[in-house]
């Protein structure tokens, strides 16, 4: 049993009592374990005893004006940051890129993992009209599928790894719909996307050190990576366009990069089939690997899906489960 596993310190009954007395964050601090481990044990015990384990009433019933951070400032002197975007998770098997991301979390022991927007698709609350009579998953089904897949990432990383979610336009559909039709419920748990993913820090933009910006989208078009880093004046990692490529840019200040991390989803997934009308797509599935040495970013690398069972990284075809 790992030393950061809360089972090593409390019996089931003690854990339940302290969870319901202290709440998850205070319990994690008391046990000196990661918050995600506390939530994982609660989920296990709820299944074992067929009952809900609730935080104290003030935490459960109301929210105190909690909002997503606009910008999250992070510092990485030495270590690896994994950045994946556009998972567009639907119920069903994990994509090859998502399985690879879990594998790389275990193997590279990253300092941070950033999901750079559009983790879910939310077609049922899209502003776009339906196309024909195609079926879409229920919102609850999408959230449950995303919880299951993100939990695998949470279990794969080390205790010190930061988990960050830079929100995308598809993610925003969830709260936009609720804010439009049910604004009176804004301070209640369950009406914000973050309520369902407590282990992840949500923001619109994540800045790493002083010269790297991670956000879901900036400039558009075929030259988006070039234009994003040109206009930002910093290395810029985006998703949204699913194109997965790196554009270096050098001026008097040195070299920086515009990076599209691609899509964690399979480009042929059903979520895309109808609105793309089965056209050829200049998309690539995979994610980005950033390595920092003494606070400086080395040339960025890409992990790219090769086939349904493998990815390519550093000139090697790597099998994934």
Q: Provide the CB-side half-sphere exposure for 31 (13 A, CA).
A: 28
Q: Report whether 286 contacts 305 (CB < 8 A).
A: yes
| Lowest mean pLDDT segment, chosen from 45-49, 130-134, 244-248 | 130-134
Distance from C-alpha of 170 to C-alpha of 111, rounded to nearest angstrom: 26
Q: What percent of the chain has pLDDT over 90?
A: 56
272-315, pLDDT tens digit by residue? Answer: 877 788 888 999 999 999 999 999 999 999 999 999 999 999 99
Q: Band of the pLDDT at 271, cuts 50, 70, 90?
A: confident
Asked if the model's pLDDT at residue 46 lies above 50, the reply is yes
Phi/psi of residue 130, nearest 5 degrees: -65, 155
Please, which residues have CB within 8 angstroms of residue 18's CB and are 6 or more apart in sequence?
A: 10, 27, 30
Distance from C-alpha of 14 to C-alpha of 5, rounded to nearest angstrom: 14
Q: What is the pLDDT of residue 68?
A: 57
CA 57 to chain centre: 29
186-222, pLDDT tens digit by residue? Answer: 777 777 888 889 899 999 999 999 999 999 999 999 9
Which pair of structure tokens corresponds to residue 159? 């205790």
Nearest to 143 by CA among 187, 191, 184: 191
Q: What is the DSSP string of 289-315?
A: EEEEETTEEPPPEEEEEEETTEEEETT
Residue 257: how many other CB atoms lie within 10 Å:
23
Q: Of the segments 5-9, 126-130, 188-192, 249-253, which one has the largest average pLDDT value?
A: 249-253
55-103, pLDDT tens digit by residue? Answer: 775 434 443 334 556 899 999 999 999 999 999 999 999 999 999 999 9
Q: What is the pLDDT of residue 61?
A: 40
CB-count burial class (<10 Å; 0-12, 13-18, 19+) for 52: exposed
Output the CA torsion 212→216→220→221 (10° steps): 100
Q: Report whether 73 contacts 129 (CB < 8 A).
A: no
């Amino acid at each position: 049993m790992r030393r950061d596993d809360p089972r090593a310190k409390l019996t089931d009954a003690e854990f339940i009592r302290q969870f319901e007395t202290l709440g998850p964050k205070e319990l994690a601090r008391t046990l000196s374990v990661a918050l995600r481990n506390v939530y994982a044990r609660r989920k296990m015990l709820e299944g074992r005893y067929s009952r809900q384990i609730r935080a104290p009433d003030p935490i459960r019933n109301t929210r105190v004006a909690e909002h997503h951070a606009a910008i999250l400032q992070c510092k990485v002197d030495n270590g690896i940051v994994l950045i994946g975007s556009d998972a567009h998770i639907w119920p069903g098997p994990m994509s090859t890129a998502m399985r690879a991301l879990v594998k790389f979390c275990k193997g590279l022991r990253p300092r941070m993992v950033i999901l750079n927007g559009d983790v879910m698709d939310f077609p049922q609350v899209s502003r776009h009209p339906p196309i024909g009579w195609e079926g879409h998953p229920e919102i609850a089904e999408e959230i449950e599928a995303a919880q299951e897949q993100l939990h695998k990432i949470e279990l794969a990383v080390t205790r010190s790894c930061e988990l960050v979610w830079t929100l995308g336009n598809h993610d925003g559909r969830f709260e936009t719909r609720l804010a439009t039709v049910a604004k009176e419920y804004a301070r209640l748990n369950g009406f914000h996307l973050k309520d369902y993913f407590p282990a992840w820090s949500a923001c619109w933009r994540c800045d790493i050190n002083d010269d790297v910006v991670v956000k879901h989208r900036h400039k558009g078009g075929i030259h988006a990576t070039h234009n994003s880093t040109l206009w930002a004046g910093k290395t810029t990692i985006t998703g949204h366009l699913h194109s997965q490529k790196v554009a270096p840019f050098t001026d008097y200040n040195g070299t920086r990069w515009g990076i599209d991390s691609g899509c964690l989803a399979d480009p042929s997934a059903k979520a895309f089939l109808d609105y793309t009308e089965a056209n050829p797509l200049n998309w690539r599935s995979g994610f980005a690997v950033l390595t920092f040495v003494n606070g400086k970013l080395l040339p960025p690398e890409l992990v790219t899906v090769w086939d349904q069972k493998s990815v390519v990284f550093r000139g090697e075809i790597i099998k994934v489960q």
